[in-house]
Chain A
C-alpha cells in the first residue's frame, strides 16, 4: 500500500474512527460480560401446530407462575389476534422470564418503555429475561404484521408495586 496517497488529515480521521469503534465495541462487551445483557436467543424449537394439545403451552398451563427463588415465569401463546392469557400481572423490580410461542404466523411483542421486545417465530420458543421497574399498566403490543387483524393484537401487562 506504499504507493497510495494518504493525507495527514486523513490519518488523524482514521485514528478518530478507530477510537469511536473501540468505544462502540467496548460498551457492548462491557454490558454483555458485566451486566449479562443478551438479546433473547434461546434457539429452542416447538411444534406450533400441536401447542394447544399438551405441555407447557396448553391452555391450562399458560399464565404467571412464581418460582421457588422468588422470580416469575410467564408462559404465553401468541395467536391471531391476541396474546393468551390476555392480561397478566407481575410485581415490579422482580426478575421475570417470559416464554412465548406462536400458534400460527409471525408475531412480535413489545412493552413500550421497556426491553421486553421479541419476535415470536412459529416453530420456535421465544424467551426473554427482564424485570419491570415501573408499576402501572402497559400494553403488550404485537409489533410484527401478522395479518389484517394485526392492528388489534395487544394484551395488558399490569406491574404491581412489589418489593423495591
Chain B
C-alpha cells in the first residue's frame, strides 16, 4: 500500500489514529457518542422484549406480572423506537456531515445533552412504573409529567441536529454552486427535514394537550384531537427510522459488495418520495377511529399506497447494485451473481437479509394500507409482527451493519471479530423471522397485541389451542434476537478497545455508475419539497384538525393507569 500525498497530509494534520482532519475528528467523536447512547438503548431494550415474550406466552407462570409487563413494554418501546433511532440517526448524520461535505455542526453537543437529559427524565418514571402508558402514550391515561417532559426534550434535542444538517447542506451548496450535493448528504438532510415535519404533530400534542393536563393546568383533554396529532407523527416516524437503513443499503452495501450504485438519481428520487408521501398519510393508524370521516381515510389510503413506490425503487436499485457486484466477481446467468457475492462480508449479508425481510414486511404493509384488510387485523398481534419485521428486522439490521462499518473508521481500530459479526447477523435474521412470522399468524387468529397474558380467554379454549405453537416459536425467536444483540454490543465494545489498527479508515461511499455532473433543482435542494409538504399537509390534515375546534366536543378527564 503506497502512501499518497493526500494521505500523508491528512495524517500530518491529525493527531488521531485514523488520519482524520480536525472537522472529521469532531464529527467522529460526536457521532460515536450519539451512537453509543443508541446501542446502549438497544442493549437495555432487547432483553425487555424477551421478558415480554416469555411473560405473555404463559409458559413461565413464575414471571407473570401485569404491572411489570406494561412498564417493560412502555420502556422497550421508548428505548428502541425513540432512543435507539434518534441517537443513531443523529450520530451517523453528524459523521456524514463531517466526512461528505466537511462541515462542523454548531449545536451538536447541545442537542446531544438535551436529548440525553430528556431520555433520563423519561426513563425514571418508565422504570418505576409511573409511565406505563406505552410508547404511543394515548391519553386520557396519563403518566407522570416527567415522562412527557423527557420525551419532549428528546425531540427538542433532535431539532438541533435537524437545524445543523440543513445549515451544513445550505452552506456547502453556496460554496459549490451548481454542483450536486453528495448523495449521502442529500439523503441525510432530507431525512432531517422529514423528522422536523414528523415531530411537529407529537410536539403539538405534548405542548398543547399532554403537558397542560399532566401539570394540572388543563382539567380535560380532547382525545380525538390528540390521536389525530399523534397520527401525524406515528407513520412518518417509521420512515425517519427506516431512511438511515436505506442510506446504508445505498451507500455502504454496493461498495462493500465490490460494485457500484446503480443510480444516483433514483436514490434521490426515492428519498424525496419517501419525504413527501410519509407524513400526510398518518390516518391509516386511524382507520377504525370514530373521530375522522371515511373520505379523509380514503385520501390518506391513496397516499399510503404511494409511499410503497420509493420502497419499490429502493429494492430495485439496491438489488441491481448487488447484481453488478456479483457479475464483476464472475457470477453468470440469471441467478449466478447471487452465489458469486461474498456472503461472509457482514455488509453484503446484512443488505441481503434486510432486503428479504423488507420484501415480506413490505407486502404486509401494502395489505395493511387497505382498510378492508386493516379491520381484520387492527390492533392484533399481526401489527406487532409487521413493525417488528420492518423496524426490528430490516431497519435495525442495517443499523448494526452500519455500526460494524463505522466503528473501525471512527476509532481506527480493526473490527474485533468479523466472523462473530456474520454469525450475529444470521442469528438476528433467523430470530426476527421466527419471532415475527408467527405473530402475523396469531394476529389473523385474533390474538390482540398489548395484553400481558392470553389465558384469560379460557371461555374460548379453541383460541388457546390455535395460539400455543406460535407462542412457543415467538419465545424461541426472542431468545435468538437477544443473544445476537448481546454479541453485537460485545463486538462493538471489543472493537472500541481493540489494539489492532484498522487498515482502511478512509470513509468512502458507494459511487454511482453515472455520477451526475448537474442535477435538476428538485433533486438537489429541499425548498421545493418543503413547500410541497406544506401544501399536502394543509390538504390532508387541515380540515381534520380544524374540525375539532368547531364541533360540539366533550373533552375527557385524565385517568391514571
Contact = CB atoms under 8 A, between A and B. Distances in A.
Interface of A: 1, 3-7, 9-10, 13-14, 17, 20-21, 24-25, 27-28, 31-32, 37-49, 104-106, 108, 110-115, 117-127, 137-139, 141-148, 150-152, 154, 156
Contacts of A139: 446, 457, 459-460, 463
A117 B378 contact: yes
B554 A48 contact: yes
A20 B263 CA distance: 22
A44 B309 CA distance: 35
Interface stretch (B190-198, B332-340, B515-523): B515-523
B141 A146 contact: yes
Contacts of A123: 222-224, 291, 553-556
B222 A3 contact: no
Contact of A121 (B224, B316, B380, B463): B224
Interface of B: 66-67, 70, 132-134, 138-141, 222-224, 227, 262-263, 265-266, 286-294, 297-298, 301-302, 305-306, 308-309, 312-313, 316, 320, 366, 369-372, 374-376, 378-380, 445-453, 456-457, 459-460, 463, 514, 516, 518-520, 523, 547, 551-557, 559-561
A39 B371 contact: yes
Contacts of B559: 104-105, 147
Contacts of B222: 123
List 4 A-B pairs, minimum CB-CB distance, nearest first. Answer: A112-B446, A143-B379, A47-B554, A41-B294
A124 B451 contact: no
The listed residue with most A CB atoms (<10 A of its CB), out of B224, B378, B551, is: B378
B294 A3 contact: no
B319 to A, nearest CB: 10
Contacts of A46: 554
27 contacts: A1-B520, A4-B265, A21-B308, A28-B370, A32-B298, A41-B290, A41-B292, A43-B290, A105-B559, A106-B139, A106-B141, A106-B223, A110-B378, A110-B380, A115-B376, A119-B290, A120-B290, A121-B223, A122-B556, A123-B223, A124-B223, A138-B460, A139-B459, A143-B378, A143-B448, A144-B450, A151-B451
Contacts of A37: 372
B459 A150 contact: no
A147 B308 CA distance: 35
A136 B560 CA distance: 37
Given A48-B556, A119-B288, A143 B449 contact: yes
A8 to B, nearest CB: 12
B311 to A, nearest CB: 10
A141 B457 contact: yes
Contact of A106 (B140, B320, B366, B456): B140
B290 A145 contact: no
A118 B445 contact: no
Contacts of B514: 5
Contact of B297 (A41, A106, A118): A41
A6 B265 contact: yes
The listed residue with most B CB atoms (<10 A of its CB), out of A9, A39, A154, is: A39
A47 B223 CA distance: 12
Contacts of B561: 147-148
A17 B306 CA distance: 10
Contacts of B320: 9
Contacts of A126: 290
Contacts of B519: 3-4
A10 B263 contact: yes
A141 B448 contact: yes
A106 to B, nearest CB: 5
Nearest to B446: A112
Nearest to A31: B372
A17 B309 contact: yes
B70 A148 contact: yes
A73 B198 CA distance: 40
B520 A4 contact: yes
B551 A45 contact: yes
The listed residue with most A CB atoms (<10 A of its CB), out of B380, B450, B463, B514, is: B450
A146 to B, nearest CB: 7
A121 B552 contact: no
A66 B379 CA distance: 30
Contacts of B518: 3
Given A46-B554, A106-B140, A121 B366 contact: no
